[in-house]
Structure 1
Amino acid sequence: MSEKQIIIDSLKSMYKAFEDRDRQKFDLFLDETVTTWESPLPTLLLNKGELDSYRDGRDASGSRPDEVSLSISEEVVTVLDDVAIARYIFTVEVPNTESVLNRVTDVLTKSDDNWKIIHHHCERMN
């Protein structure tokens, strides 16, 4: 299997973990130093600790839907030795609401034969 396909499959597995509410499995795909841009956030999150604080607040507020379906499409992956850039459309579907389309760019690094996200940029398109 090509490195590009391994990365695409890893991203799909990560989002499946989100659907399953399995944060521990989801986090296996993130480097501890991951930086994150998300459309609703005014500033860059500088590490996994800041991401955890954001997620804890979101979950406690009830703004995370109980049922969600996540998918990626139009994947473009560039692999440069132990660094990769993945660009894709990320679709969020919640029952009885309009689908949300996002543009995503992830920068990944390979260590111990695993690809981990070191930067995630997600911008809502609609």
Structure 2
Amino acid sequence: MSIDELTATISGMYRSLGDRPAFDAHLHPDLTIWESDADQLLSGLAALDELRDRRAADAPGPAPAEVAPEQFRVDAWGDTGLVRYVLRARHGDDRPDVCFRVTDVLRRTDHGWRIVHHHAEAVR
């Protein structure tokens, strides 16, 4: 059952994109993050907020119309989960989709599955 729970956690997180508290409810407060546009390992939600704010200030156009994970590959060992997927951002105009290869490590807590490490790499 853990594999379905992990997939649902990731899908639910991206459905709440745009609502920071709802999105962040899927993240462990002490998570670590590797992102293509960050030159160092980020630690914690405050560092993630700084990255989000910088991205919003630098955004060249409207936000994607849809962001959704696909091509899941999931493993679970007790209270630890590993989810690999492609994250696709679709725009409502003529811009091409933007894709990322993502690996998330999750830990089951009293509050459900939470991401403790996120690694995303832009696909060129």
Partner Cα separation in structure 1 for residue 42 and residue 84 of structure 2:
20
**By how many angstroms is 1:64 displaced?**
7.0
Mapping of 1:1-126 within 5 angstroms? 2-18=1-17, 21-63=18-60, 65-95=62-92, 96-112=94-110, 114-126=112-124
Q: Extract unaligned runs of 5+ from structure 2.
A: none
Aligned length: 123
Identity %: 31
Q: Extract unaligned runs of 5+ from structure 1.
A: none
**By how many angstroms is 1:125 displaced?**
1.1
**By how many angstroms is 1:33 displaced?**
0.6
Partner Cα separation in structure 2 for residue 115 and residue 80 of structure 1:
13
Partner Cα separation in structure 1 for residue 47 and residue 60 of structure 2:
18
CA offsets per residue over residues 33-60 of structure 1, 9 Å max, x none? 1111111111111111111111122224
8 Å Cα contact 1:58/1:64 also seen in 2: no
Partner Cα separation in structure 1 for residue 61 and residue 114 of structure 2:
24
8 Å Cα contact 2:64/2:89 also seen in 1: no
**By how many angstroms is 1:77 displaced?**
0.9
Partner Cα separation in structure 2 for residue 28 and residue 82 of structure 1:
18
Report the residue type matching 1:24 in the other structure. Answer: P
